[in-house]
């Protein structure tokens, strides 16, 4: 075998290897455009806004008495384009995190969850905070800043 | 698995083509055997590396000092032998057709050099002793310092520090440079992981499987990348066996640590099958939560396993080999419960990497060309970051092809050693989870040259490199959000880089040198296009597609003393980097995920300057004094503010006692306070931490046994390291008793 033949054989081998090792990226996906693009929210009681997370700031609070429950509160999310609404589709879910669950807790029924509605029950006097979350498949699409819950006598 | 089968079939079919056309069987070679022994005592010297320079074929002598080369092409060769503690050996030998040539080698001991047991082979040496020595961690030093990560293993070297975020993700930092500004390589190749992009991403290389770790600095580092002001770290794993052993060799290691109940074990075997060499290795490591002087650091468990198999064929005019490896790691990022951006329960990361590579060397026998090296590697990497409730924060996938062709030039006139090369990389990057980062393909092409020259009292190293890179997102779009905006579009970057160093021998053992480097770094995919939460890094990251390339000018003056019993190095350096890219904390939280701070990539002109020094002094035949220090100051030029994540003045002073097979050592690691702070960074206090070390080795039945006992932080001191991302929450680990048992056969 001449030097040139040797060299050509090597080049062919490596070109072959380069082409052989091709596959799809394990993290490739096409759902970039299907996230619910919320950047804020309003918490409403009978059409009145009682608390908001807007422009990175939290305004207002959820107020409830001990051993009492708020009326049904509804959440309306503010999207990037200014639209106000809630996510639609089975892939989305409503969730929350309360800092101190000894002070207050959330009550919902299944149909209320789908509509992003909930009650807050006061357990003992004090102040805690709640973050409201939109889950999308197995990740979060949105998580608000902590919104105060004030429980009084 | 389908990929592996396809790849193995491709290698097999192609190798048959080469083997059928190779000279084996059509012309006969000869063989070379011999015995290596101590010139003064006559004792056998095992584990010596023997090299036939012209064909780059090397073997490691067995424990009884015997070495064997089979099927060597007829001709005259330069025969070299290297063994730590002995002077290098060089001779000529002529291989005759169908004959076995006997060539015994006598090695003479270095005066005042106490016994060192280095078993792993060493194939390359600098052209001249004048040239700046690479930092090398191997043999006894590697066993003494071996840690849970590569960064921890080399962190006591001068100028080196480590950036951490829990025990698993650690990345080395040299002179304030980290990430892909201080490239980490495995057998000369990029490992294909994402450790350079974020502090929570672990390096996919297992320290217990490393044969040697070398830090290459100066113009030679440009062989591996255009952005190597800091240098490169090359971890020698030797996936593809580059030597044909005479019989079965290998080692077995067992390693434990008390601070987190870590247990690691690894084994490696290399054996011949005719003209083939077959190598297999594997390791497993588990660790619980790490303990600190103030309590347990939660969610810091580690569960790693990795393995590889490699085969090489050695026809007369070269060699060809292929290897497959896998690396799986599950590790935790500790919680930051009381701060914005923290996670009360921490984040879990599951990472896996598979790698296939093929390498061929061909020795044409030309006067001017030593050999041609061709290499292809394919890496499949993915990792996912999980919250405590099992939700995926982000999933990353990277598929990387690397193809390189190197022409290793022969010594020719004043040119002592040179390489001319071509490198191509295709990198397919994608994310999922709450990520708006588009799937992107990066293509890079480089042309480079490196040469070493020696003329009397002067030695020069020179490198030049040209790189072109395209970054092509799957979709082009303009993003306008309430709190940021970006224009996702195709980017092309290209530029020159290079280096020059000159060394002058003031006296036989003293030299003075100067080094100038020009570096170039194109922005990465994450820096240009990222958009989404990065839970483990406690950040919501946003790229900046209009970022320009980084260019740096590095200058350094250094002074070396290299005597038999004393080595001293002093360097003063200044690196100016224009458009230094880093994620800047905007001070605002993300509107979308309000628990994370919004970080946006930006470029600033920065200067990093400092000094480093090291001393290794055998002041008696049994006592050695070691000292090293490093200091770097980094500033943003525009406003004079300090750069974040720059280590303070750090030093090590150690005393070692060596008597035959026993080594005792004590090392005091100190750091000054760091109050030169970047934006949103907190100060750290100074500290002094004592480490103790005992090593012993013995030979039994042709087995070499080594036992290393190390006590890190012997005083259980509470201290905080400035480059630890969670230093405000927990201090560094407490007292740690480490035991390493390694047997070589």
Strands B89-95 and B57-60: unpaired
pTM of the model: 0.84
Q: What's the mean pLDDT when you consider all of chain B?
A: 85
Q: Do B397 and A3 touch (CB under 8 A)?
A: no
**Which range, of B131-135, B214-218, B522-526, B534-538, averages the lowest pLDDT?**
B131-135
B123 pLDDT more than 70: no
Closest CA to B189 of B331, B356, B53: B356
Alpha carbon of A121: minimum distance to chain B alpha carbons (Å): 24
Q: Answer whether B22 touches A (CB < 8 Å).
A: yes
Q: Answer whether B462 touches A (CB < 8 Å).
A: no
For A57, the closest chain B residue by CA position comes to: B591
The full DSSP string for B333-353 is: E---TTSTT--TT-EEEEEEE
B125 pLDDT more than 50: no
pLDDT for B138: 76
- Average pLDDT rounded to a whole number, residues B68-82: 83
B117 pLDDT more than 50: no
Query: Dihedral (C-alpha) B54, B58, B62, B68: value to the nearest 10 degrees?
Result: -50
pLDDT for B481: 79
Candidate from A9, A21, A55 with C-beta closest to B21:
A9
pLDDT for B112: 46
Rounded to whole angstroms, the Cα distance separating B332 from B289 reads 9
- Average pLDDT rounded to a whole number, residues B193-221: 86
B623 pLDDT more than 80: yes
pLDDT for A35: 77
Number of other CB atoms surrounding residue B624 within 10 Å: 20
The token pair that represents B688 in the structure block: 């002094």
B119 pLDDT more than 80: no
One digit per residue, pLDDT tens: chain A, 153 residues? 566 666 666 667 766 666 666 678 887 765 555 778 888 999 999 889 999 999 889 999 999 999 999 999 999 999 877 788 888 888 888 989 999 999 999 988 777 777 889 999 999 999 999 999 998 876 788 999 999 999 998
B13 pLDDT more than 60: no
pLDDT for A24: 81
Per-residue exposure over B360-397, b if at least 16 CB sit within 10 Å of its own CB, e if not: bbbbeeeeebbbbbbbbbbbbbbbbbbbeeebbbbbbb
Residues of B within 8 A of A28 (CB-CB) are: 397, 430, 432, 439
**Which range, of A19-23, B24-28, B538-542, averages the lowest pLDDT?**
B24-28
- Cβ partners under 8 Å of residue B495, min gap 6: B226, B466, B467, B520, B522, B549, B551
Domain range holding A127?
37-152
pLDDT for B328: 95
pLDDT for B120: 44
pLDDT for B28: 57
The answer as to whether A25 is a domain residue is: no
For A3, the closest chain B residue by CA position comes to: B364
B113 pLDDT more than 50: no
Strands A126-136 and B30-38: unpaired
The answer as to whether A130 is a domain residue is: yes
pLDDT for B169: 84
pLDDT for B111: 53
Q: For the complex shown, is ipTM > 0.90?
A: no
Residues of B within 8 A of A14 (CB-CB) are: 358, 360, 374, 376, 403
Q: Do A40 and B591 touch (CB under 8 A)?
A: yes
Burial of B706 (C-beta count, 10 Å sphere; 0-12/13-18/19+): buried
Q: Do B434 and A136 touch (CB under 8 A)?
A: yes
Query: Dihedral (C-alpha) B614, B181, B375, B467: value to the nearest 10 degrees?
Result: -130
- Average pLDDT rounded to a whole number, residues B52-61: 77
**Which range, of B82-91, B417-426, B556-565, B703-712, averages the lowest pLDDT?**
B82-91
Residues of B within 8 A of A2 (CB-CB) are: none
pLDDT for B492: 95
Looking up tokens 């240009």, which residue turns up? Answer: B528
Residue-wise pLDDT for B459-515, tens only, equals 889 999 999 999 999 888 888 777 788 888 999 999 999 999 999 988 888 999 999
Residue-wise pLDDT for B322-380, tens only, equals 999 999 999 998 887 555 555 667 789 999 999 999 999 888 878 888 889 999 999 99
Residues of B within 8 A of A35 (CB-CB) are: 434, 436
Higher pLDDT, B283 or B155: B283
Among A40, A139, A143, A145, the residue to mutate for chain B (most B Cβ within 10 A): A139
Residues of A within 8 A of B595 (CB-CB) are: 131, 143
Q: Please report, for residues B56, B81, B212, B243, B456, the alpha-carbon distance to residue B122 in angstroms, rounded to integers and kept in the order given.
A: 12, 9, 9, 12, 26
Q: Do B431 and A23 touch (CB under 8 A)?
A: no
- Average pLDDT rounded to a whole number, residues B9-21: 55
- Average pLDDT rounded to a whole number, residues B156-169: 83
B149 pLDDT more than 60: yes
Of all residues in chain B, what percent carry a pLDDT higher than 70?
91
Candidate from B10, B374, B482 with C-beta closest to A80:
B482
Q: Answer whether B597 touches A (CB < 8 Å).
A: no
- Domains, chain B, ordered by start: 2-107 (2.60.40.10), 135-744 (2.40.170.20)
pLDDT for B121: 43
Where are the extended beta strands (E) located within B39-146?
49-52, 57-60, 66-72, 75-82, 89-95, 100-102, 105-107, 135-138
Q: Say if CB B384 and CB B349 are below 8 A apart.
A: yes
Order of strands across the sheet that contains B212-216:
B135-138, B212-216, B232-236, B183-186
Interface list for chain A against chain B, based on CB atoms closer than 8 Å: 1, 3, 5-7, 9-14, 16-18, 20-21, 23, 25-29, 31-32, 35, 37-40, 53, 55-56, 80, 131, 135-136, 138-146
For A9, the closest chain B residue by CA position comes to: B18
Higher pLDDT, B453 or A5: B453
- Backbone torsions φ then ψ of B88, nearest 5 degrees: -60, 150
Q: The CATH number of the domain where A104 resides is what?
A: 2.60.40.1080
Q: Do A32 and B3 touch (CB under 8 A)?
A: no
Residues of B within 8 A of A130 (CB-CB) are: none
Residues of A within 8 A of B374 (CB-CB) are: 10-11, 14
Rounded to whole angstroms, the Cα distance separating B410 from B417 reads 6
Q: Answer whether B392 touches A (CB < 8 Å).
A: yes
Residue-wise pLDDT for A11-45, tens only, equals 677 666 666 666 788 877 655 557 788 889 999 99
The token pair that represents B228 in the structure block: 């190597």
- Average pLDDT rounded to a whole number, residues B677-682: 82
Looking up tokens 């905006």, which residue turns up? Answer: B485
Residue-wise pLDDT for B167-200, tens only, equals 888 888 988 888 888 889 998 889 888 888 877 8
pLDDT for B122: 43
Number of other CB atoms surrounding residue B730 within 10 Å: 23
B26 pLDDT more than 60: no
Q: What angle is formed at CA B319 by the lines to CA B313 and CA B321, rounded to 5 degrees?
A: 60
Q: How sure is the predictor about B557, in pLDDT bands with cuts at 50, 70 and 90?
A: very high
**Which range, of B12-26, B50-64, B472-486, averages the lowest pLDDT?**
B12-26
B588 pLDDT more than 60: yes
pLDDT for B24: 41
The token pair that represents B320 in the structure block: 């060809």
Residues of B within 8 A of A100 (CB-CB) are: none
pLDDT for A36: 81
pLDDT for B106: 92
Alpha carbon of A147: minimum distance to chain B alpha carbons (Å): 11
Looking at the structure of chain A, the number of domains it has is 1
Q: Answer whether B25 touches A (CB < 8 Å).
A: no
Q: Do A13 and B432 touch (CB under 8 A)?
A: no
Higher pLDDT, B331 or B52: B331
Alpha carbon of B722: minimum distance to chain A alpha carbons (Å): 30
Q: Answer whether B328 touches A (CB < 8 Å).
A: no
Higher pLDDT, B159 or B575: B575
């Amino acid at each position: 075998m001449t030097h040139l033949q040797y060299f050509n054989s090597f080049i062919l081998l490596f070109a072959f290897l380069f082409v052989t090792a091709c596959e799809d990226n394990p993290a490739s996906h096409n759902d970039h455009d299907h996230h619910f693009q919320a950047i804020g929210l309003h918490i409403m009681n009978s059409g009145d806004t009682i608390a908001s997370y807007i422009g990175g700031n939290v305004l207002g609070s959820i107020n409830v008495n001990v051993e009492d429950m708020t009326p049904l509160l509804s959440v309306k999310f503010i999207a990037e384009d200014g639209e106000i609404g809630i996510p639609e589709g089975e892939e989305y879910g409503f969730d929350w995190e309360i800092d101190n669950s000894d002070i207050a807790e959330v009550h919902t029924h299944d149909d209320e969850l789908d509509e992003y509605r909930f009650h807050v029950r006061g357990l003992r006097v004090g102040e805690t905070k709640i973050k409201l979350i939109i889950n999308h498949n197995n990740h979060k699409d949105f998580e608000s800043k902590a919104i105060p819950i004030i429980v009084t006598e | 698995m389908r990929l592996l089968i396809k790849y193995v079939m491709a290698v097999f079919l192609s190798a048959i083509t080469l083997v059928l056309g190779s000279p084996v069987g059509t012309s006969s070679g000869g063989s070379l055997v011999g015995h290596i022994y101590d010139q003064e005592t006559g004792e056998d010297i095992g584990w010596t590396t023997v090299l036939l320079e012209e064909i780059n074929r090397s073997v490691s002598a067995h424990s009884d000092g015997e070495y064997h080369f089979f099927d060597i092409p007829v001709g005259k060769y330069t025969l070299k032998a290297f063994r730590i503690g002995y002077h290098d050996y060089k001779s000529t030998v002529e291989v005759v057709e169908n004959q076995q040539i006997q060539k015994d080698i006598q090695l003479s001991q270095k005066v005042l050099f106490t016994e060192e047991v280095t078993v792993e082979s060493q194939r390359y040496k600098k052209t001249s002793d004048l040239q700046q020595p690479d930092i090398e961690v191997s043999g006894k030093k590697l066993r003494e310092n071996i840690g849970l990560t590569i960064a921890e293993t080399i962190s006591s070297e001068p100028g080196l520090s480590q950036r951490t975020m829990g025990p698993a993700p650690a990345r080395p930092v040299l002179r304030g440079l980290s990430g892909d500004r201080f490239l980490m390589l495995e057998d000369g190749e990029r490992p294909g992981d994402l450790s350079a992009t974020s502090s929570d991403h672990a390096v996919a290389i297992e320290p217990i499987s490393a044969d040697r770790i070398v830090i290459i600095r100066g113009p030679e580092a440009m062989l591996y990348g255009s952005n190597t002001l800091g240098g490169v770290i090359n971890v020698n794993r030797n996936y593809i066996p580059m030597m044909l052993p005479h019989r079965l060799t290998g080692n077995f290691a067992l390693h434990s640590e008390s601070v987190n109940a870590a247990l690691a074990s690894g084994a490696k075997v290399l054996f011949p099958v005719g003209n083939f060499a077959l190598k297999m290795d594997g390791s497993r490591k588990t660790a619980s939560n790490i303990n600190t002087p103030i309590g347990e650091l939660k969610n810091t468990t580690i569960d790693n396993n990795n393995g590889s198999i490699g085969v090489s064929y050695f026809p007369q005019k070269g060699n060809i080999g292929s290897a497959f490896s896998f690396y799986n790691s599950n590790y935790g990022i500790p919680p930051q419960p009381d701060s914005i951006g923290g996670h009360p329960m921490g984040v879990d990361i599951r990472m896996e990497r598979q790698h296939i590579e093929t390498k061929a060397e061909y020795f044409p026998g030309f006067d001017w060309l030593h050999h041609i090296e061709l290499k292809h590697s394919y890496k499949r990497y993915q990792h996912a970051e999980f919250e405590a409730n099992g939700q995926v924060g982000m999933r990353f996938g990277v598929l990387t092809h690397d193809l390189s062709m190197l022409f290793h030039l022969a010594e020719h006139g004043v040119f002592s050693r040179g390489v001319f090369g071509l490198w191509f990389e295709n990198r397919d990057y994608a994310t999922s989870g709450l990520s708006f980062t588009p799937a992107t393909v990066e293509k890079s092409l480089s042309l480079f040259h490196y040469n070493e020259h020696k003329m009397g009292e002067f030695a020069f190293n020179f490198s030049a490199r040209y790189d072109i890179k395209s970054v092509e997102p799957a979709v082009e779009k303009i993003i306008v959000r309430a709190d940021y905006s970006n224009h996702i579009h195709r980017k092309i970057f290209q530029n020159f880089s290079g280096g020059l160093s000159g060394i002058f021998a003031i006296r036989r053992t003293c030299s003075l040198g100067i080094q100038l480097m020009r570096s170039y770094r194109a922005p990465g995919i994450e820096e240009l296009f990222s958009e989404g939460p990065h839970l483990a890094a406690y950040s919501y990251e946003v790229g900046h597609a209009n970022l320009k390339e980084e260019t740096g000018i590095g200058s350094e003056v250094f002074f070396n003393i290299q005597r038999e019993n004393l080595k001293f190095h002093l360097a003063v350096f200044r690196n100016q980097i224009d458009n230094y890219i880093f994620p800047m904390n905007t001070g605002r939280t993300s509107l979308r995920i309000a628990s994370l701070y919004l970080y946006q990539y930006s470029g600033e002109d920065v200067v990093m300057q400092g000094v480093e020094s090291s001393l290794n002094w055998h002041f008696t035949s049994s006592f050695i004094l070691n000292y090293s220090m490093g200091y770097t100051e980094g500033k943003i030029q525009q406003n004079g503010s300090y750069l974040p994540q720059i280590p303070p003045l750090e030093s090590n002073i150690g005393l070692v006692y060596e008597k035959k097979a026993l080594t005792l050592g004590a090392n005091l690691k100190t750091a000054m306070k760091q109050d030169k702070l970047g934006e949103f960074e907190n100060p750290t206090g100074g500290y002094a931490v004592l480490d103790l070390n005992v090593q012993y080795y013995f030979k039994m039945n042709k087995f070499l046994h080594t036992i290393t006992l190390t006590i890190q932080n012997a005083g259980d001191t509470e201290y905080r390291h400035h480059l630890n991302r969670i230093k405000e929450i927990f201090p560094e680990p407490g007292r740690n008793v480490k035991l390493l048992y390694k047997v070589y056969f």
